[in-house]
Amino acid sequence: MRIALFQGTPKPLDVPGNLQRLRHQAQLAAERGAQLLVCPEMFLTGYNIGLPQVERLAEADDGPAAMEVVEIAQTHRIAIVYGYPERADDGAIYNSVQLIDAHGRSLCNYRKTHLFGELDRSMFSAGPDHFPVVELEGWKVGLLICYDIEFPENARRLALAGAELILVPTANMAPYDFICQVTVRVRAQENQCYLVYANYCGAEGEIQYCGQSSIIGPDGSLLAMGGRDECLLLAELEHEQVVHGRQAFPYLTDLRQELHLRKG
């Protein structure tokens, strides 16, 4: 499977403009043979927008913005992962990402479980204990968001559930470049899975984003990496590399899970 990753500057509060950008990037990615496009965290609205704007712009997972993403995916025959503020049936607002396949079907809607700092916590509720693994184009895929990937337990849980590919929309900011440069590569290698880390670049209010988005192989190698500017990254994924990685480093089969269920 060929994957595309869009690293862009945030355009806060401009949902129509961000949907238009998504349409353009989906077209470019599809023209280059990609079957999946991954965009950053809170892509439709911007991340650093404050609670009043989050409350104003939050939508259900099948709201008007989602329906336009469905149409974009169907038009360009490409699966799309995008971040947005989700309003649940009970009124709670989550930092969510949704995976729409090339036929316009929602395969997964994931709510961020580990909120980062006061900014995240002031805008969102923490997601529930729900780490689904779904199938896309013959691949078993899991989703995490930004800070989630910094806890090794989250990626390991997805890998133990069969994930071969972990998609991580993010809004990682300075001075946390080491997450982009080191942590995500370790997560891929220790779970012998592909990992896609889709970040912003540029500034949003007082936040300066790191850029340095990446597509990483099961051995931790960089298949593609962005710099500090907007870019569309592409890489080819091969099942054989996951199989080889899990044979060379059989951490998942050798892990004594019963030891980690104990407290004290």
Q: Is 112 a catalytic residue?
A: yes
- What are the φ and ψ backbone dihedral angles of 259, each rounded to 5 degrees? -70, -30
Catalytic residue among 39, 59, 86, 146: 146
CA 172 to chain centre: 12
163 touches 193 (CB < 8 A): yes
Q: How is residue 215 written in tokens?
A: 């597509």
Q: Is 41 a catalytic residue?
A: yes
Catalytic residue among 86, 108, 112, 150: 112
Alpha-carbon distance of 125 to 85, in angstroms, equals: 11
pLDDT of residue 264: 58
Mean pLDDT of the chain: 98
Percent of all residues in the chain with a pLDDT value above 90, rounded to a whole number: 97
Q: Find all residues with CB under 8 Å of 140, minimum gap 6, and list them.
A: 133, 134, 162, 163, 164, 165
Q: How is residue 160 written in tokens?
A: 């133990």
pLDDT of residue 25: 99
DSSP character at residue 90: T
Q: For residue 19, which of 112, 120, 100 has the smallest C-alpha distance?
A: 100
**What separation in angstroms does the CA of 245 have from each of 127, 165, 193, 239, 242?**
31, 13, 8, 10, 5
CATH code (residue 25) = 3.60.110.10
Q: What is the DSSP string of 198-244?
A: E---SEETTEEB----EEE-TTS-EEEE--SS-EEEEEE--HHHHHH
Each residue's pLDDT tens digit, 183-193: 999 999 999 99
Does residue 262 have a pLDDT over 70? no
209 touches 187 (CB < 8 A): no
Residue 232: pLDDT band with limits 50, 70, 90: very high
Q: Is 140 a catalytic residue?
A: no
Each residue's pLDDT tens digit, 112-170: 999 999 999 999 999 999 999 999 999 999 999 999 999 999 999 999 999 999 999 99
Q: Find all residues with CB under 8 Å of 21, minimum gap 6, and list them.
A: 8, 11
pLDDT of residue 188: 99
Alpha-carbon distance of 261 to 264, in angstroms, equals: 10
| Number of independent structural domains in the chain | 1
- What are the φ and ψ backbone dihedral angles of 244, each rounded to 5 degrees? -60, -45
Q: Is the pTM of this model over 0.95?
A: yes
Residue with tokens 């989630």: 148
pLDDT of residue 209: 99
Residue 258: pLDDT band with limits 50, 70, 90: confident
Q: For residue 240, which of 101, 138, 98, 124 has the smallest C-alpha distance?
A: 138
Residue 130 sits in which domain range?
Answer: 2-260
Tell me the Cα Rg of the chain: 17
